[in-house]
Amino acid sequence: MHLKKISLFNYKNFGDAVFDFDSKINCFTGRNGIGKTNVLDAVYHLAYGKSYFNPMAVQNIKHGEDFFVIDGAFDKDGRDEQIVCSVKKGQKKILKRNGKIYDKFSDHVGLIPLVIISPSDRDLITEGSETRRRFIDTVISQLDAHYLQDLISYQKVLVQRNALLKYFAANRTVDKETLGIYNEQLNALGQPIFEKRKKFLSDFIPIFSKHHHAITDSAESVQLVYQSDLSDKDFLELLDENFDRDRVLQYTSAGIHKDDLSFEIDGHPIKKFGSQGQQKSFLIALKLAQFDFVKKRSGEKPILLFDDIFDKLD
């Protein structure tokens, strides 16, 4: 995968800018605040249909303007691909491939394999489980369109089940039949997601460990520990067991939407026991493993973006 050119119109601090790229290594240098990271984020935007740093699309529009456009020209296995992403205030985001508008953004995921390494990756350590689930889902979805569709469908059913629980509480009633339908749907979608996450991590962890050892060359050991409610119990059984609790909370308290990935160093949470340098090495190894994993499984070398990676290294 080779990004040949990118054009930015009213994107963040850029009014009108064009960048041409070599097929190998490209570097941006300059003082702080000139927009180096913003160029990388624009490239990410074309791969994923959203910003890596600010998911609120309209907030990426240049101050004083009412739209932005990112236009990228790629070479994918000798085939030209033009990807255009545009946002106008008050309107839906538009993502186009070779002039054709996508009906669903999910259809675009995986076309442009890309990995970014940034100081913002520290959120994977400091933020909640949703951030780490998103990392797992991002990697798998780049390679498995069915996984992404199951994930989207699961979230829709989850929202419906939670709405039903709120209805039960508001009306002091229970409809076991309707609840059972949602439970069956969550199970049918959630179980394959759990199995694919588990398989992914069993393949991914050795790659991560290899990169971490190469970066640190130290005796410390690091672990990625998958934590899921489904590891010990059947999903339907979990839903039944937690029904009374769910009625009180008015949301579904168990399931793959509660999965987490524990980051550990020598058996302890790296968030509490790792230095800034150790955390940074951990995250770089994680992202390099992502690069290798996607490259091996897709047969295509992803675009690799580095943003100030030597910050906070011991």
Q: Are residues 6 and 88 in the same domain?
A: yes
- Which CATH number does the domain housing residue 61 bear? 3.40.50.300
Q: Are residues 125 and 49 in the same domain?
A: no
Q: Are 60 and 49 in contact (CB under 8 A)?
A: no
- Which CATH number does the domain housing residue 127 bear? 1.20.1050.90
Mean pLDDT for 129-141 is 98
* pLDDT tens-digit readout, 233-261: 999 999 999 999 999 999 999 999 999 99
> What range does the domain containing 89 cover?
2-112
Point out the domain boundary residue: 49, 82, 112. Answer: 112
Band the pLDDT of 313: cuts 50, 70, 90.
low
Residue 218: the pLDDT is: 78
| Assigned domain for 67 exists | yes
Bridge partners for 42 per DSSP: none
Q: Name the average pLDDT for the chain.
A: 96
Q: Are residues 214 and 272 in the same domain?
A: yes
* Alpha helix positions (H), 217-275: 235-241, 243-249, 270-273
Buried b / exposed e across 290-300, counting CB within 10 Å, b at 16+? Answer: bbbbbbebeee
Point out the domain boundary residue: 80, 112, 144. Answer: 112
* pLDDT tens-digit readout, 193-212: 999 999 999 999 999 999 99
Point out the domain boundary residue: 62, 79, 112. Answer: 112
| Assigned domain for 277 exists | yes
Q: Are residues 165 and 263 in the same domain?
A: yes
CA 165 to chain centre: 29
Q: Are 95 and 101 in contact (CB under 8 A)?
A: yes
Q: Are residues 159 and 188 in the same domain?
A: yes
Q: Are residues 206 and 64 in the same domain?
A: no
pLDDT at position 219 over 80? no
Q: Are residues 50 and 179 in the same domain?
A: no
Taking the alpha carbons at both ends of the chain, their separation in whole angstroms is 33
Number of domains in the chain: 2
Q: Are residues 170 and 289 in the same domain?
A: yes
* pLDDT tens-digit readout, 74-121: 999 999 999 999 999 999 999 999 999 999 999 999 999 999 999 999
